[in-house]
Amino acid sequence: MKKKILIIGGAGYIGTKLCEFLIKKNYDVTCLDTFWFGNNLPKKTNIIKSDLRNEKFKFLKRFHTVIHLAYLSNDPLCEIDARATWETGPLALYNLLENCKKFRIKKFIFASSGSIYGIKKEKKVTEKLGLDPITDYNKSKMICEKVIESYKKYFKTVILRPATVCGFSKRLRLDVVLNLFCYQAYYKKKITILGGSQIRPLLNINDMIRSYEFFIKKNINGIYNVGFENLQVKEIAKKVAKIFNCKIEIKKTNDPRSYRMNSDKIIRLGFRPKYNYENSINELKEAFEEGFIPSDINWNLKWLTKKKWI
Ligand SMILES: NC(=O)c1ccc[n+]([C@@H]2O[C@H](COP(=O)([O-])OP(=O)(O)OC[C@H]3O[C@@H](n4cnc5c(N)ncnc54)[C@H](O)[C@@H]3O)[C@@H](O)[C@H]2O)c1
């Protein structure tokens, strides 16, 4: 029988590609989402249009694994609406987890974030280091992690701390560094870098979704970093500029975020990344050249740019 997977926030950037991938792998996939960014999901996805904050989750009995992706997914968005951040994050989680316990799901996988480490001096930012979350986004993710861990006696709990994800999805995010540079390179013929010496750990979206399947199959609890390349923002820009053949402009930034990540723990468990950031650039170039137009040209992109966060 097909394993039933519920993906909360499954219509977003990562979720859209994850639903496609898991359906191809013969899982029975249901997506619960508010569909803020539209619906680009494959027809075979079972759809529940709902806001996590008001959902009673009485249908959970059928599910083997719950993957939780729904969030206000970046620092500036959380800054616009701190209340919605805490409501969608830690506050909605209690009701969800209680129902997961009641209906005896087998596994809960949560998308935390590598950014919750804050700014670290250490070269190897492993899961053993303490957390220094800076923004509401990171702080609320940290609280979610603690709440989820307290349920590990009832079902397997896996907490993933992904790096900045990059590459193509039919719901394309343009507020993440590499995707934004590719968008600028193709549509504006010029990449604008704010600062440039900041380090960003990157993760190709195809490895992100492969890591979800890896954990659906593994009978294990734990917290795992997922990010395999630590690069300076200007290095990323140079590679994009080379592949798209465009110019780079450097401006000042007020963005203090600079972090790196070490993912030896997930490697020791047997996961092997197959893709890199250059694959993401080429995949995006191909999509733009084939006429793909990002639907949201992020509705908050202007605001984010004004704040000099991206
Ligand atoms: N993309 C990245 O680089 C990255 C890196 C680290 C962690 N993450 C985390 O991974 C998860 C998915 O990220 P993404 O890039 O796909 O983000 P996204 O913004 O594209 O997707 C989030 C989805 O959640 C839905 N949603 C938000 N609030 C909801 C609510 N109250 N009820 C139901 N649905 C709701 C949105 O409609 C959207 O489809 C997020 O939790 C994010 O914090 C993402």
pLDDT the model gives residue 230: 96
Q: What is the pLDDT at residue 257?
A: 64
What is the per-residue pLDDT for 97? 98
Angle formed at CA 108 by CA 105 and CA 113, multiple of 5 degrees? 170
β-pair partners for 232: 199
Q: How far apart are the first and last CA of the chain?
A: 45
Averaged pLDDT in 10-residue chunks for the chain of 310 residues: 96 97 98 93 97 95 96 81 91 97 98 91 92 92 98 98 96 92 94 90 98 97 98 96 96 76 98 98 94 63 44
Q: Give the ligand 1 atom nearest the CA of 35.
A: 37
pTM: 0.94
pLDDT at 297: 52
The pLDDT score that the predictor gives to residue 300 is: 46
CA of 12 to the centre of ligand 1 (A): 6
Nearest CA to ligand 1 atom 11: 69
Mutate to test the pocket of ligand 1, among 35, 73, 257, 301 (most ligand atoms within 8 A of CB): 73
Give CA 114 to chain center in angstroms: 10
> What residues have CB less than 8 Å from 158, skipping those under 6 apart?
107, 108, 109, 110, 215, 218, 220, 221, 222, 224
Pocket residues for ligand 1 (CB within 6 Å)? 9, 11-15, 33-37, 51-53, 69-71, 73, 88, 111, 113, 162, 164-165, 171, 173, 176
Give bridge partners of residue 193 from the DSSP assignment.
250
Q: Is the dihedral of CA 181, 188, 308, 135 positive or negative?
A: negative
pLDDT at 260 (0 to 100): 87
The 10 Å Cβ neighbour count of residue 35 is 16
Q: Which atom belonging to ligand 1 lies closest to the Cα atom of 171?
A: 20
3-state SS of the chain? CCCEEEEECCCCHHHHHHHHHHHHCCCEEEEEECCCCCCCCCCCCEEEECCCCCCCCCCHHHCCEEEECCCCCCHHHHHHCHHHHHHHHHHHHHHHHHHHHHCCCCEEEEECCHHHHCCCCCCCCCCCCCCCCCCHHHHHHHHHHHHHHCCCCCCEEEEEEECEEECCCCCCCCCCHHHHHHHHHHHCCEEEEECCCCEEEEEEHHHHHHHHHHHHHCCCCEEEEECCEEEEHHHHHHHHHHHHCCEEEEECCCCCCCCCCCCHHHHHCCCCCCCCHHHHHHHHHHHHHCCCCCCCCCCCHHHHHHCCCC
Q: Which residues pair with 247 in a beta bridge?
A: 190
Task: List the beta bridge partners of residue 226.
Answer: 162
User: Which pLDDT score, from 0 to 100, does residue 181 have?
Assistant: 96
Could you tell me the distance, in angstroms and rounded to a whole number, from the CA of residue 74 to the centre of ligand 1?
8
At 295 the pLDDT is 63
- Rounded-to-integer distance, Cα 170 and Cα 206, Å: 13
Closest ligand 1 atom to the C-alpha of 55? 32
Backbone angles phi, psi at 297, to 5 degrees: 20, 70
Domains annotated for the chain, with CATH where assigned, are 4-165+203-226 (3.40.50.720), 172-201+229-257+277-306 (3.90.25.10)
φ, ψ of residue 171 to 5 degrees: the values are -105, 95
Q: What is the pLDDT of residue 121?
A: 84
